Amino acid sequence: MFTFEQILSDLKKKIYKPIYFLTGEESYYIDEITNYIEKNTLTEEEKAFNQTILYGKETDMATLLNNARRFPMMSKYNIIIVKEGQNLKGFDGGASKDQEIFLLYAENPVPSTIMVVNYKGKTLDKRKKLYKVLDKKGVIMEAKPLYDNQIAPWITKHIKSIGYDIDAKATQLMASHLGNNLTKIIQEVNKLIINIPKGSKITVKEIEDNIGISKDFNIFELQNAIGNKDIYKANLIINHLGKNPKTKSIIPIISILYTFFTRLIIIHSTPDKSEYALKMATGINYFLRDYINASHKYSKIKCMHIIRFLREYDAKSKGIDSPPVDDLDLMRELIYKILHI
């Protein structure tokens, strides 16, 4: 199995494989590879005769393979891109005629054809013959969502790659507000940099002005208020978030607080309390001091009780063993329990 970085590096060196089978839940990586092949492999003149885009819901295996077996015209390569490939019969691992004919092609693909299959939201069974054949003859990539603690470093790296800088608090603010949907993060970054000169450093002010995340009323500030046991500020932020349709959902709050209190438990459980040891144990590169201060206010036992609260309110928000309740009311109840434990 190949990584996103390996595949993109080879593509930039014009090292091509006959089949790219791009699977998984993180669509950003799948789209990036697909778009790179679509835009950079052929010239505009060559694309007219040698690049075909199919959609899983609108095509069938016979059409796909007829296009794949076609030889290029006045070009070195024939490119076939299958979007929404998860909807095309023959890739699902079941015993079917469609899969049999695809396997026959995959075992002996046309060398001049580059086939790209988007298989979003699904993965192939590694025990099946289809996976083994594709792994041997082509490229398989499984695009997994990033963990919460990987989002801020990813944002920093991406912003630096496009010629900007960003301070740590602005990065954390974006990560806490936008979650781990990389496509959404990229869209917001693109909006952010429209009015910012290249080479500039992005701060919380730019985030607030261009993305609409308030520097005073956001999930990141809520976490800080809870960490400091600032009851007044925490309730002020909750009321603000609960009245804004864009931030009214309790799910992102539960997610960030789960990460926060899990890290506090790690701090309590780490014998070596030096900053280096705690950074290594928690994965926190910035604001470690805030976490250490919060650990003085919340014992390990209290953190474990709070984790149970978070699970309880996650279930309630989804209507599990609970009648429908407004998210703002759930937020208020949850924060009250956390701050008064």
Give per-residue pLDDT as tens, 148-204. 778 889 999 999 999 999 988 888 778 877 778 899 899 989 988 988 888 999 988
The pLDDT > 70 percentage for the chain reads: 96
| 200 shares a domain with 255 | no
- Other C-beta atoms closer than 10 Å to the C-beta of 34 total 20
Q: For residue 341, what pLDDT is reported?
A: 86
Per-residue pLDDT at 172: 79
Helix, strand, coil fractions of the chain, as percent rounded to 5: 55, 10, 35
pLDDT at 300 over 90: yes
Answer yes or no: do 131 and 24 share one domain.
Answer: yes
Do 256 and 316 lie in one domain? The reply is yes
Binned at pLDDT 50, 70 and 90, residue 271 comes out as very high
Q: Could you tell me if 70 and 152 lie in one domain?
A: no
* 42-77 pLDDT, tens digit each: 999 999 999 999 999 999 999 999 999 999 999 999
What is the CATH classification number for the domain harbouring 58? 3.40.50.300
Residues near 171 by beta carbon (within 8 Å), at least 6 away in sequence: 152, 155, 156, 286
User: Where residue 216 falls among pLDDT bands split at 50, 70, 90?
Assistant: low
Distances (CA, A) of 28 to 35, 62, 92, 257: 10, 29, 22, 26
- Are residues 327 and 226 both part of a single domain? yes
Q: How far is CA 62 from CA 22, 59, 98, 111, in A?
A: 20, 8, 8, 19
Same domain, 49 and 112: yes
Residue 13 has a pLDDT of 96
Find the CATH number of the domain harbouring 288. 1.20.272.10
- Distance, in Å, from the CA atom of 143 to the CA atom of 32, rounded to the nearest integer, reads 11
For the cut 60, the answer to whether the pLDDT of residue 95 exceeds it is no
Radius of gyration, CA atoms only, the chain = 24
Who has greater pLDDT, 323 or 272? 272
- Provide mean pLDDT across the span 218-229: 89
Are 19 and 136 part of one and the same domain? yes
Domain residue limits at 136: 4-143
Q: State which of 99, 119, 143 marks the end of a domain.
A: 143
Check whether residue 251 and residue 209 sit in a common domain: no
Cα dihedral 27/28/29/30 (nearest 10): 40
Whether residue 204 is found in the same domain as residue 227 = no
Q: Are 297 and 179 in contact (CB under 8 A)?
A: no
Average per-residue pLDDT for the chain: 90
16 and 103 within one domain: yes
Q: Indicate if 172 and 265 belong to the same structural domain.
A: no
Pinpoint the alpha helices (H) of 41-107.
Answer: 44-50, 61-68, 97-107
Running DSSP on this structure, what letter comes out for residue 328?
H
In the chain, how many domains are there? 3
pLDDT of residue 71: 95
- Band (pLDDT 50/70/90 cuts) for residue 319 is confident
Burial class (CB in 10 A: 0-12, 13-18, 19+), 308: exposed
Mean pLDDT computed over 10-38: 96
Whether this model's pTM surpasses 0.85: no
Q: Are residues 150 and 132 in the same domain?
A: no
